[in-house]
Amino acid sequence: MEGHIAGSGGGGGGGFVFTPAEFDSVIARWERLHADLMEDNRQVHALMSVQGPGDEAASETAANRANDSGTSFMDHHRRMVDAVGDYVRRLKASRQSYLVRDDSARDLLAGVTR
C-alpha cells in the first residue's frame, strides 16, 4: 500500500514510528478528506429541500420523509466533519510534540557526545 505506515514489531510498547515527512503526509491526507467533506456540505443541503411532484397528501408525505432523511444524513455528516477536523488538530498537536521530544533528545545526545 502506497504511503503505508506500519506499527513497530513485537516487544516493547508498540506504537508507530513516523518521520516528520511521514507525519506531514498523513496530516495532508486527513486535511484533504476534511476539505472534501466540507465541499460535500453543499450537496448534502439539497437532500433537505426535497419537494413533492404534486400538491396532494402523498407528495407532501413523501417529500417530508425525504427531508427527514436528509436532515438525519446532514446530522451524521456534520458529526463526521467535526470528528475529522478534531483528528487533524490532534495529529498536528502530536506532530508538534514529536518534534519537541525529538529536538530535546538530539540536544541531550549532543551534550553526551561532547
Task: Give the model confidence (pLDDT) of 71-85 as tens digits.
Answer: 999 999 999 999 999
Residue in the block written with cell 518534534: 99
Q: Is pTM, for the whole model, over 0.95?
A: no
Please check whether residue 85 lies inside any domain of the structure.
Answer: yes
Q: What is the pLDDT of residue 31?
A: 97
Cβ(47)–Cβ(69) under 8 Å?
yes
Q: Cα 66–77–5 angle (5° rounding)? A: 145
Please check whether residue 71 lies inside any domain of the structure.
Answer: yes
| pLDDT, mean of residues 89-97 | 90
Q: What is the pLDDT of residue 59?
A: 93
| pLDDT, mean of residues 76-100 | 92
Please check whether residue 73 lies inside any domain of the structure.
Answer: yes
Please check whether residue 2 lies inside any domain of the structure.
Answer: no
Counted domains in the chain: 1
Please check whether residue 108 lies inside any domain of the structure.
Answer: yes
H runs (alpha helix) in 1-114: 20-46, 57-112
Q: Which domain holds residue 79?
A: 36-112
Please check whether residue 1 lies inside any domain of the structure.
Answer: no
